[in-house]
Amino acid sequence: MSKFKMFIEYDGTRYSGWQKQRDSKTVQGTLQRIAEDIFNTREVDIQGAGRTDSGVHALRQVASLDVRTMLAPEIIKMKFNDLLPYDINIIEVEKAHSNFHARKDVEMRSYLYQISKRRTAFGKQFVWWIKDKLDTNKMRSTLQLFIGMHDFASFTDKNMEEKSTKVLINDITLTEVDDLILIRIIGSHFLWKQVRRMVGVTAEVGRNHLTENDVLKYLTSLRNEPAKFTAPPSGLYLEQVIYKGEKFNEEFSPLIKVS
């Protein structure tokens, strides 16, 4: 078997997330089906670095591809892109070590959330438009509360696959670019809906509907309130996946500019 490392971007609007499901269209399922056609075999395994939720996008998802083939990486990339739908694109394919696993070998992941301060005709499926005026200074201060190791049980739904709800958040930044508010969250891993609830709660502080003390309570005891403030998937992107020895790209790359 040959092992490849694939870099993938996709618009998640039409998909029920990354992970393959029996009766739903997913990104992994689409890639798997096309891979079976390309290599003329069902002995193909594609594993992603992050299981993005329904409607969530990726700027640079990483996947490992296991298949028996003599095709060169650039030919594999070309064949995939010839068959993939318009909203999934293979950016790059490279040979990988036989032990490489896209998810298990990750050291850090970053997610980018885009909030638009104005109504936009073109970016609705790529941003969260918030009509209310937001206090970004309060939002920055609130986001700092999440940095470090915390129990994010209040920011996720119960999932039998998760052994622990503790997550290490390495860094969070909020940057304003024209009429966009960009929130980057870097962590070891993320729970289901965690990032969207972190952003949703922070936006409520920016609206002056919640306080930093409220957020601290969500981090120190199990509460149901964050679920009510879940930000929509439209503004969320899996931005970067970092492996041992790789450097993090600190430049912001918003998918759509709103000005």
Q: Which residues are catalytic?
A: 53
How far is Cα 137 from Cα 104, in angstroms, rounded to an integer? 36
The β-bridge relationship of strands 236-243 and 180-187 is: unpaired
CA distance 254 to 127: 10
Task: Please report, as a single letter, which amino acid is at residue 208.
Answer: N
Q: How distant, in Å, are the alpha carbons of 2, 86, 201, 247 from that of 224? A: 46, 38, 12, 37
31 in Cβ contact with 62 (< 8 Å): no
Strands (E), the chain: 2-10, 45-48, 57-67, 88-95, 106-116, 128-129, 148-151, 166-177, 180-187, 236-243
The owner of tokens 């002056």 is 208
Question: What gap in Å lies between CA 259 and CA 120, rounded to an integer?
Answer: 9
Record the tokens describing residue 186, joined without a space: 């870097």
Place of tokens 């940095």: 147
How many residues are given for the chain?
259
DSSP state of 156: S
